[in-house]
Structure 1
């Protein structure tokens, strides 16, 4: 008897979304809460945590290697779980470094450096393999919505983590931060492990290309990606937009603490408000994708452009907020910024999944690795750029408000530039259209 085998269904996609939630739960503590503690509680210049976060993003330039290994190996699940385990352990080590800074800043910095290197390896191995798994086992018509669902679950995990840890961190102490981080990592790994059990029993959408990818060398696979003009243009967009997105990532909680007098718990919860806005923006994209799927081919591109312009406008207004702080409705403003960020980010991820499945050699992992590396490098540079610009601005102007305003203005400019690049994507080849060579073909004899 011959019949069509099922690929990833909606329940399977929700399960993989739990893995994204686990990733987000750990990363939000290392990128947001720990950054604020170093700047405000430990009194370090913003450049130090900025450089540390830049280290873990810099390490992720190895993502193409992890993607290629998941293409050529027998299981992507192994890389997902190994990466998550390393991330949980290294995240705890990073928070433990705060205990050392008071007695020996050099020792604390050394431990933190090692921890952030390992964080980068864990994210690269786990995140790249997860995206490749989604791209290769999700039917084309479900990819945009699948991206929305999994990223919304990641943001949901970040929101829940931000709120719960914000409450658990009061009253704050470095030891309490270590305990909360360790507990979060353990729970996140357990959830992810249960979520991926048996998931790879589902077939790939393009089994022939998946088999051919296992025989392709790393250099040949990388060359195939870079010779694709649409892939190159998309790489440029990812690099620019994520640079804009991440420049405020490390300074938002210090901004809330220095200008609005928020405590560590309150600023961590503000991060939750921002991600609630991201969640809402992603929901709009997901609903739009379900309602207008197949009827409006340029919908993803429209969401990308709208989100980038909305982010630019929100950041420009945040420059004014810095001058009148604390007399400003900061939480609603941050929610709107998150909403615009969420729109463009999830639309870009949906586009990424479509383009990943269009390779001639079925190298979805490599493609995700290249774009993941571009994103990681931009995130690392963004964190450094925001932190350094803040310190330089404070040195030149002598006023925190002016320094923060300069950084937000820089971000707004970057988002406008990203919009100009996004307008060129898909001009010569519609993103939603798959080449005939990679059309779904899932037949199996029972």
Structure 2
């Protein structure tokens, strides 16, 4: 066996499925730790400690804002000794931030300014940890997955991330009752230690000693400076368009996240348990869409690049149609097939999300000198800001609309705006991929044209 080979690697096909699943375990660990800080602690601050809801919302928004630095951390993993050290280093920082966030929850009710100061520091660390580990994990995936496997690999890692969130949420919910500060510390510490252990085992000897080059080109082996890397990325028309697509689609994706359950309660009169079940219906749709896109996007290996573009556009337009139906349901009220409507929305969301990540991995390795880390960092930053802004815009839109209109009309306007944004995202996706993704044996002349994997 060649010295650079590994049981986890196939030199002609990149990372094996076992290796892809191991990267998925890293994503699951990240998702579980973030769940603790953005869901469990959010509820404890508002309910058990009677703090203003704006406090946890602001801290969560701040951790998204910190992730604007994702390109910088991605560039660091490009230039460093390996991506694994960035993944594990980021997870360690995330775990430390989560511990401090728990302490913030416990002291803010009695010592407001101390708690706020500690909270800002804690969620800064959380943003750094998520950005550094997540960007490096996706860069490792992008650089090591063969083109025909990208859609399926994206589906696997996203599904595992969601599974990590779900499993950890169920586990924490079972262990944290009856609530006490001491029990919170034990449960949180156990979760964080378990996540770090799983990630450490998953990344052990995962990286290849030599990088893959599926395009079979002689790329300059010395990464450029950070400023040069950003200049190269934004000089590419396709990369600029794809960045706008990521921002628009992910903002639309997250606009209903904070308002779906209030919508179910105010317009359809659902109980908290029923509205939570509706949210679960949407998540089930997302998972189904991811599975279908992951299988379908890899089923036609010869035409896979074109298929990815089709999945993206179909998912965005399907999401827009589902939101148009939801806007109609906001006026109809009781009797509307709300569960089927929400499942369809989640399904289309899952379709475009997996295809977009697969396409992102294709474009990540297309630079003449830039590496996957900084490119994934740019798109990760666009996604993080879009997520935070989407949730804020959706919530503010409903609040403002309810002051001037009835509840149904307020939600109708927000859903209509979200659907329109999905249509814009579909148009941007077509513009960014108008000639499809480049095939694996693309010549270096095409790669150096500045268009990369997209034309």
TM over 0.5: yes
After TM superposition, the score normalised by the length of structure 2 is: 0.83
In 2, Cα distance between equivalents of 1:210 and 1:189: 37
Q: Which residue of 2 aligns with 1:224?
A: 232
Q: Which residue of 2 aligns with 1:290?
A: 298
**Coordinate RMSD, CA, aligned:** 3.4
Are the aligned partners of 2:320 and 2:419 in contact in 1 as well (CA < 8 Å)? yes
Are the aligned partners of 2:64 and 2:127 in contact in 1 as well (CA < 8 Å)? yes
Are the aligned partners of 2:252 and 2:390 in contact in 1 as well (CA < 8 Å)? yes
Are the aligned partners of 1:35 and 1:250 in contact in 2 as well (CA < 8 Å)? no
Identify the range of structure 1 (333-342 vs 195-204) with the bigger mean alpha-carbon deviation.
333-342
Aligned partner of residue 311 in structure 1, secondary structure: helix
In 2, Cα distance between equivalents of 1:320 and 1:178: 46
* Matching of residues 129-278 of structure 1 within 5 Å: 129-168=136-175, 179-206=186-213, 212-252=220-260, 260-262=270-272, 271-278=279-286
Q: Which residue of 1 aligns with 2:401?
A: 393
Identify the range of structure 1 (103-112 vs 306-315) with the bigger mean alpha-carbon deviation.
103-112
Shift of 1:35: 4.2
In 2, Cα distance between equivalents of 1:205 and 1:383: 38
Q: Bigger relative contact order, structure 1 or 2, given CA contacts below 8 A and separation 6+? A: 1
Question: Is 1:379 the equivalent of 2:387?
Answer: yes
Identify the range of structure 1 (143-152 vs 199-208) with the bigger mean alpha-carbon deviation.
199-208
Shift of 1:51: 2.9
Q: Which residue of 2 aligns with 1:443?
A: none
Q: Which residue of 2 aligns with 1:56?
A: 63
Q: Where does the alignment leave 5 or more consecutive residues of structure 1 unmatched?
A: 441-446
Are the aligned partners of 2:317 and 2:426 in contact in 1 as well (CA < 8 Å)? yes
Shift of 1:118: 1.4
- The 1:110/1:143 distance shift into structure 2, 3 A limit, reads same
Q: Where does the alignment leave 5 or more consecutive residues of structure 2 unmatched?
A: 448-455
Aligned partner of residue 370 in structure 1, secondary structure: helix
Q: Which residue of 1 aligns with 2:128?
A: 121
Are the aligned partners of 2:229 and 2:370 in contact in 1 as well (CA < 8 Å)? no
Post-superposition CA distance 1:58-102 (Å, at most 9, x none): 111111111111011001101101111222332343344333444
In 2, Cα distance between equivalents of 1:177 and 1:403: 38
Identify the range of structure 1 (8-17 vs 21-30) with the bigger mean alpha-carbon deviation.
21-30
In 1, Cα distance between equivalents of 2:111 and 2:414: 31
Post-superposition CA distance 1:156-182 (Å, at most 9, x none): 222323333444455666765555444
Are the aligned partners of 1:166 and 1:269 in contact in 2 as well (CA < 8 Å)? no
Aligned partner of residue 272 in structure 2, secondary structure: coil
- The 1:176/1:146 distance shift into structure 2, 3 A limit, reads same
Post-superposition CA distance 1:358-404 (Å, at most 9, x none): 1111511111111111111211222322333343334445x665544
Q: Which residue of 2 aligns with 1:79?
A: 86
Are the aligned partners of 1:50 and 1:250 in contact in 2 as well (CA < 8 Å)? no
Q: Which residue of 2 aligns with 1:111?
A: 118
- The 1:90/1:2 distance shift into structure 2, 3 A limit, reads closer
Are the aligned partners of 1:51 and 1:383 in contact in 2 as well (CA < 8 Å)? no
Aligned partner of residue 203 in structure 1, secondary structure: coil
